[in-house]
Amino acid sequence: MAIRSILEAPDPRLRTISTAVEAVDDELRALIADMFETMYEAPGIGLAAPQLGELKRVIVLDIDREDVKTGPLFMANPEIVEASDEDATYEEGCLSVPEHYSDVVRPAKVTVRYLDRDGETKELACEGLLATCVQHEIDHLDGILFIDHISSLKRNMILRKLLKARKEKERDEAEGKPAAKLKMTAKEEAAEA
Ligand SMILES: [Zn+2]
C-alpha cells in the first residue's frame, strides 16, 4: 500500500475518459488499497482512479456522517441505472480542485450498478450525500469535474486561481523556499472527493 499524489486541475489526465476494468484481480486490488490509503490521508470521502493518473473505471468512497455511514465502498465499472426526477443541491469540493467549493445540482437519488471487490455485480440505491458523491466520482471516469456543473464565469475564475497557485508553488520551489503551509480554514471540514 502506498499514498500516491493526487492530480490537480488543469491536468489533461483529469479530462480523459477512463477505460472499463476487465476483471477485479490482485493488480486492481493493489490499486484499490492505494486509493483508500490516499483518500483517507487527504482526507476525502471519495476518490476516482484517474485522480491518481490511473485511467481505469474504478472509484472508492467512505462517508461517515451523522445521516450517512457507508464504510469503505469500492466500485469497478460503476454506472447509473436509475436517477430520480427530484434534484438536490450540495456544496461540492474535489481533491483535484483544492480549496474551491461550489453548489452543484444533481439528481437526489440514483441507483448505481458496479462490480465489487470480488468481481460480483451489485446494485446500490443511493441518496443524500452518497448519491452526490457517487455521481461526482463517476463524472471523474468521464473526464468531468464538478466545476463543469457550475457557471463558466465561476469555473474560469477557479481555474485561473489554480494556475496562479501552481506557478507560485513552482517559483518557490525553484528558489528553494519551503512549501507554504496551507491556510487552515473552516472549509477544511467540507467534503472533498
Ligand atoms: Zn473529485
- 175 Cα to the center of ligand 1, angstroms: 31
Mean pLDDT computed over every residue of the chain = 92
- Structure pTM? 0.90
- Say how far apart CA 193 and CA 183 lie, in whole Å: 19
User: In the structure grid, which three cell numbers stand for residue 65, read together?
Assistant: 456522517
Of the listed 137, 188, 189, 192, which one is catalytic?
137
Distances (CA, A) of 83 to 45, 74, 109: 21, 20, 6
- 132 Cα to the center of ligand 1, angstroms: 11
What mean pLDDT do residues 4-31 have?
96
What mean pLDDT do residues 126-138 have?
97
- 121 Cα to the center of ligand 1, angstroms: 24
- 47 Cα to the center of ligand 1, angstroms: 7
pLDDT on residue 160: 95
Residues with CB under 5 A from ligand 1 (ion): 94, 193
3-state secondary structure of 15: helix
pLDDT on residue 183: 46
Distances (CA, A) of 5 to 78, 86, 113, 192: 23, 36, 28, 15
**How many Cα neighbours within 13 Å face the side chain of 30?**
5
What mean pLDDT do residues 183-189 have?
47
- 62 Cα to the center of ligand 1, angstroms: 13
pLDDT band at residue 180 under the 50/70/90 scheme: low
137 is catalytic: yes
Which residue from 61, 41, 189 is spatially nearest to 114, judged by alpha carbons? 61
pLDDT band at residue 122 under the 50/70/90 scheme: very high
pLDDT band at residue 66 under the 50/70/90 scheme: confident
Q: CB–CB of 56/100 below 8 Å?
A: no
